[in-house]
Amino acid sequence: RINRSKYRFHSAFGDMAAKISLPPDKVDQLVKACMKAKDAAYAPYSNFPVGAALMSTDGRIFTGCNVENAAYPLGICAERCAMAKAVSEGCRKFLAIAVSTNVDDFVSPCGSCRQVLAEFGDFHVILTKPDLSHKILTVVELLPHSFSSKELNSVPERQ
């Protein structure tokens, strides 16, 4: 029998940080931070550097970049890199994440990253272009039907 009470699951829709308006100075701060993080990307195989900057609800910013590997599945995306840094520092609540690439269009997080972001609630996702223009969405807009603790908690206990 699995004792689910010892596991702390986060609801994909539990935090509603996305309903809090993002001040323009915070948006600018995140856009600049993700652009700088992109410069650290290790992308020798795809030549597709990505940077991310994740802001916790207490205002801390955690940056990440994609880190590729010759064994392709072992690479990590910028968004998950930033999230891992934040979680390893004890953060669990977020206001926004900004993502940057060198593409002259808005590029959104991949499906795996969307699911990882959804694990920590609904918050702002700022998609950027190299010219610093940006578009603001939410995690729920990017992944409206995420898998969450709700599904895990609805599984009947084994007898």
- Residues that are catalytic: 79
Beta-carbon contacts of residue 102 (< 8 Å; ≥ 6 apart): 38, 48, 49, 130
Which residue in 157, 124, 155, 152 sits closest to 11, CA to CA? 152
Q: How far is CA 62 from the centre of its chain?
A: 11
According to DSSP, residue 42 is labeled B
Q: Which residues of 68-77 are buried (b: 16+ CB within 10 A; e: fewer)?
A: beeeeeebbb
Question: Distance between CA atoms of 30 and 100, rounded to whole angstroms?
Answer: 10
Tokens found for residue 53? 């900057």
Tokens found for residue 90? 């004890």
Cβ atoms 63, 35 nearer than 8 A: no
